[in-house]
Amino acid sequence: MEYWNIYGEMIIRLLLALLAGIILGLNRWLHHKSAGIRTHSLVAIGSATAVLTIGHLGPSDVQALSRVLQGLVTGLGFLGAGVIIRERSSQRVHGLTTAASIWSCALIAAAFGAGELILGCLALSAIIITLIIGGPLERLFSSLTGTKRSSEISSDPD
């Protein structure tokens, strides 16, 4: 029975991380971005696995967990940089929202991996709300104020 308690909890944590990756990746995929469901899901599962591994090696070591989180934050910055593109002709930047989504996905999954299920759910909810209503809100404020950012002049918003 204890075997199920330990591994059942791991399964729940990994499934929640996977769900976070699917939800955030689906949003990006629906917006025709390069990093979709697979990328976000792999990032989420990998992040949760890293945190779970540290947690199950022995007594809780805050410094070890801190180093894992520092590595995730830094490492995911490089992955996010891979989806950011700057057009030479218009100086428009694409991919910032997707890069931020990948980075956030990793940290939500790390929360799930650490057993912080409520924190992970709250963060996932806040991020998906931001991704869903952020663009329309930006366009609304732009039309109300009559101003356009230079990134909005040349093509569709991220």
Look up residue 65 and give its amino acid.
L
Q: How many residues does the chain have?
A: 158
Q: What is the pTM of this model?
A: 0.75
Work out the pLDDT band at 153, boundaries 50, 70, 90.
very low
Q: Which tens digits make up the pLDDT trace of 29-85?
A: 998 888 889 989 989 998 888 888 877 666 567 788 788 888 888 888 787 788 888
Beta bridge partners of 86: 93
Domain ranges of the chain: 2-148
**pLDDT score recorded for residue 147:** 78
Distance CA 118, CA 121 (A): 5
